[in-house]
Chain A
Amino acid sequence: MPATCNLQLASMRNIFLFIRRFFNLLLFLALEGLAIYTLYNYNKTHQAFFGGIANEVTGVVSKKYNDVEYYFQLKKTNEQLAEENANLRKMLPGSFETADTAKTTYIDSLAKDTLGTRKFNFLVAKVVNNSVTQENNYITLHRGAQQGVKVDMGVIGPDGIVGKVIFISDNYSRVMSLLNRKSKVSAMLKKGLYSGELEWDGKDPSFLTLHSIPKSAKVQKGDTVLTSNVSEKLSFPAGLMVGRVEEIIADPSSNFLTLKVRSATNFYTLQYVYLSDNLEAAEQQQLESKTPKD
């Protein structure tokens, strides 16, 4: 009995000696492991681990920085907003000549509301942090859960789409920019309505790539690319401006084209964006998930 006891003690002591001897190596491995774990489980564990505190803190610092930086871009921002206002004004009923209905008799047979129901709601948000130089770029907005932001909302700039909300804290939200290797948005050609996947190759912040457009599509340089009516997350209203085709690259081994698209949004000078909230997304997703998988 005492012999085994001694043996156990000795082995215990050996373990402690081992830990003490290689403490630095073990600590190194533990810290690297922790870092790699956070890197690969970022989106899943972030909310649970840090509760958005880090997001709030970096958001406040970024807000301070942006308050200064914003002044240098006031003129450009103002022009952008004025131009957008002009475009919206063009759509007002007052800008159109009404049809002359005095001479024809017309019986309204529609006994229902032709205005339809609202599908999208828009919120305005200030960009407080934005990057274009990383491999994976993110944007911080000064508007969060308390102001009605939800995950998977689409983010739209004055000239075109910008990205998608990936997580939120109380007053700030983090957006995955289109300039992100993990970003995937469905977009379609205005001519022919062919849908494909919009990605970024990490090279130039003014160009995006549109994949899986069939070769049968008659694409030309300068064609308009819009947001698609079919998408998984249903973040964007269909038909929003994405960009214009700059170059057509045919892949000889497959039946698809890869298009280099000049982005409509200027990611260098983003100051105000709109968040699009799809009010019917949950209903559609619920219905689609019921599809039998056999």
Chain B
Amino acid sequence: MSSLLKNIIRFVFFILFQAYVLDKVPPLHEYVKPILYFLFILWLPFSLSRSLQMIIAFIFGLCMDYFTGTPGLHAVPCVLIAYVRPFLLNILVPQETTELSYAQPSAKSLGTMPYSIYVLILTFMHNACLVLIEWLQFGDFIFFIGKVAATTAISLLLIFVTEVLFPRKARFRTNAA
């Protein structure tokens, strides 16, 4: 399967999964809300240019927004993590080797530790930004801190489960592909 087709399928799948599975889960508490959809942006291939990544993230976020009925709310954090992603990868990745030989970020291509840090930082940034927008409209500081901590923990758990359930083959990039 080509990388483009795979990513289009992921795009649709992540949005539908978030909108019709995770958002339908009865809330345990005000703070505890499962968010997973942004994993699509974390999994985008290395080969995309930075501006293209941001445009994809913007469209992705806006599509998510139309299902929850709040245009712009998810687009802001999505564009933010798409902007930060290349900087983070530059720091975490031994440039010459990885980006040339692997297609996309994964535990195998980056190494378990750097990949965990990459996921942790972007998850935290995404959720902090999302909750900050909500906090600006209502709520107090305890709401902000509590919700960021709780959603980040839940998101990390979900990402871990997803990585275990759907192991991506970290294929080497070849000239043929």
Contacts and interface: CB of A to CB of B under 8 A. Distances in A.
Interface of A: 23-24, 27-28, 31-32, 34-40, 42, 46, 54-55, 57-58, 61, 65, 131-136, 138, 140, 174, 181, 202-205, 268
B66 A39 contact: no
B83 A181 contact: no
Contact of A39 (B16, B67, B71, B83): B71
Contact of B72 (A40, A140, A268): A40
Contacts of A55: 66
Nearest to A180: B69
A35 B58 contact: yes
B122 to A, nearest CB: 15
B30 A32 contact: no
A38 B75 contact: yes
Contact of B51 (A23, A34, A36, A268): A23
A204 B28 CA distance: 9
Contact of B76 (A24, A36, A58, A133): A36
B105 interface: no
B27 A24 contact: no
A31 B70 contact: no
Interface in B48-76: 50-51, 54-55, 58, 61-62, 66-73, 75-76
B163 interface: no
B-side interface size class: 20 to 34
B133 interface: yes
B51 A24 contact: yes
Closest 4 CB pairs of A and B: A39-B72, A138-B69, A35-B75, A38-B72
A172 to B, nearest CB: 12
A28 B75 CA distance: 12
Interface of B: 16, 20, 23-27, 30, 33, 50-51, 54-55, 58, 61-62, 66-73, 75-76, 79-80, 83, 133-134, 137-139
Contacts of B33: 133
Contacts of B62: 35, 38
A39 B70 contact: yes
Given A136-B70, A202-B138, 17 more contacts: A31-B54, A31-B58, A34-B58, A35-B76, A36-B76, A38-B62, A38-B71, A38-B75, A42-B70, A65-B20, A132-B27, A133-B23, A133-B25, A133-B27, A140-B69, A202-B30, A204-B30
Given A131-B23, A133-B25, A39 B51 contact: no
30 contacts: A24-B50, A27-B54, A28-B83, A31-B58, A31-B79, A35-B61, A35-B62, A35-B75, A35-B76, A35-B79, A39-B72, A39-B75, A42-B72, A58-B67, A61-B67, A131-B68, A132-B26, A132-B27, A133-B24, A133-B25, A133-B26, A133-B33, A134-B70, A138-B69, A140-B69, A174-B69, A181-B137, A204-B30, A205-B27, A268-B26
